[in-house]
Amino acid sequence: MSDRRREGPGALLPSERPVRFLTDGGAPARGRPAYPEPSPELLRRAYRHMVVGRRFDTQATALTKQGRLAVYPSSKGQEACQVGAVLALEEGDWLFPTYRDSVALVTKGIEPVEVLSLLRGDAHCGYDPYRHQVAPQCTPLATQTIHAAGLAYAELRKGTGRIALVCVGDGATSEGDFHEALNFAAVFKAPVVFLVQNNQYAISVPLERQTAAPALAYKGVGYGVRSEQVDGNDAVAVLAVLSAAAEHARSGGGPFLVEAHTYRMEPHTNADDATRYREEKEAERWRRRDPVARLEAYLRRRGHLADEDVTAINAEAEEFAARVRAELNADPRLAPLGLFDHVYGTPTPQLAEQREVLEAELQAEEALR
C-alpha cells in the first residue's frame, strides 16, 4: 500500500501524522497520501448522506428537547466517520455501532423510528439486526468489540468473505474488552475493522487523561494489528483509509485498527453541560474543520457538485427530517409482555411467574376500559 512501511513490526505502525487529503478549507492538501482517492461518485454519495445525516441529527436533538426522546447523543461533526464506515462495507458485511452512531444506521437504510426506538426507551433495539447486518446499538463501552471479533471469526471459518466493522469512541479504548477483542482478532486473524472515533472526550474526560500513547492508533501494534490514523473530519481521507482497511481484512490480512481524529460539536447528551470541561475557542477551531463544508468545497472545486445539486440534497434532507418528526410525534405501539422475550432460551420459573402476573394486570386494565 505504501513504500514508507517496513517489513516486520514496522509494517503495523500508523502514519506519523493523520492521513489527510483536504486542508481545513477543502482544498487538496500537500503531499500525496499512500491511499487511492475515492471516486467522485462515491464522494458525492458520501456528501449526500452526510447532509441528510446531519439534518437527522439536528432533528433528533430537537425532539429530545420536546420530550419525544428520552436522550440523544449527538454526532454532529462526526458525519465523515459514520458515513465513511457504512460506505466502506459491502453487502452482507456487519456493522457494530455504539449509541452515538445513529447517523451510520440511517445511512445503512434503517428507518429512523427504528433507529430511535432505543433512545425513546421503547425497546433495546428497534430494528432486525439480521435483516440489516447491524448489531444493536451498544451503550456499555467496548462490549461490542468482542462481539464483532467473534462474528468476524465465524464468517472466516465459514468462508463467506464477509467482514465486520465495529465503531468505538476514545473512551472505549480504556476498557478491557477493547484490548481482549484486539488480541483475539489478531491471534485468529479475524476480518474485523476497529474504527475509533476519537472525538477528544470520554464524556468530560479529555484524551490526555486517558492515554499516554502518541495516538490511539498505536494501541493496535502491541497486539500485532495493522493500524492507521486519519483526519476524521476529512471525508475523502476517511473513505480512502477505511476502504483500504476493509480490503485488508477481506483479503485475509486480519484485523485493522483505524483511529479517526474528530470532534463532538454538541454536548455528550442533552443531559450534559459541555461548557464545564471545554472552552468555546476549542470548539470554534474544530468548526473551521467542519466535515460537511470541507467535502462540499472540495467537490465544488473539482466540478463534481453544483448549486442545483446542493439545493436538491438540502431539500431531500428537509423532507427526511419532516418524516422523522411525523413518525416520532405518533405514540408508539408497545407490547409490555415483550419484556420477557429473548431473556433466556428457556424461561426460568421466576420469569414465567412474573410474566403471568403482568399478563393478569394487563387483562384487568383492559376489562375496565
* Rounded Cα gap, residues 111 and 324, in angstroms: 9
Is 226 designated active site?
no
Measured in residues, the chain has a length of 369
Side-chain-side CA neighbours of 50 within 13 Å: the count stands at 31
Residue tagged active-site, from 6, 277, 285, 344: 277
The three three-digit cell numbers of residue 235, written as one number = 471525508
Per-residue DSSP letter, 35: S
* Alpha carbon of residue 295 to chain centroid: 19
Looking at residue 70, the DSSP 8-state letter turns out to be S
All three cell numbers of 277, joined, read 470541561
Cell 427526511 belongs to 320
Tell me phi and psi for residue 98, to 5 degrees.
Answer: -100, 180
DSSP strands (E only) in 225-333: 226-231, 256-261
Among 268, 289, 294, 298, the active-site one is 268
- The closest of 61, 12, 11, 77 to 324, measured between CA atoms, is 61
Residues 91, 77: Cα–Cα separation, whole Å: 26
Q: Which member of 264, 289, 294, 298 is catalytic?
A: 264
Q: Are the C-beta atoms of 173 and 210 separated by less than 8 Å?
A: yes
Task: Say if residues 4 and 34 touch (Cβ distance below 8 Å).
Answer: yes
Does the annotation count 99 as an active-site position?
Answer: no
CA distance 311 to 35: 31
Strands (E), 210-369: 226-231, 256-261
Structural contact between residues 202 and 174, judged by C-beta atoms closer than 8 angstroms = yes
Whether 277 sits among the annotated catalytic residues: the reply is yes
Active site members: 264, 268, 277
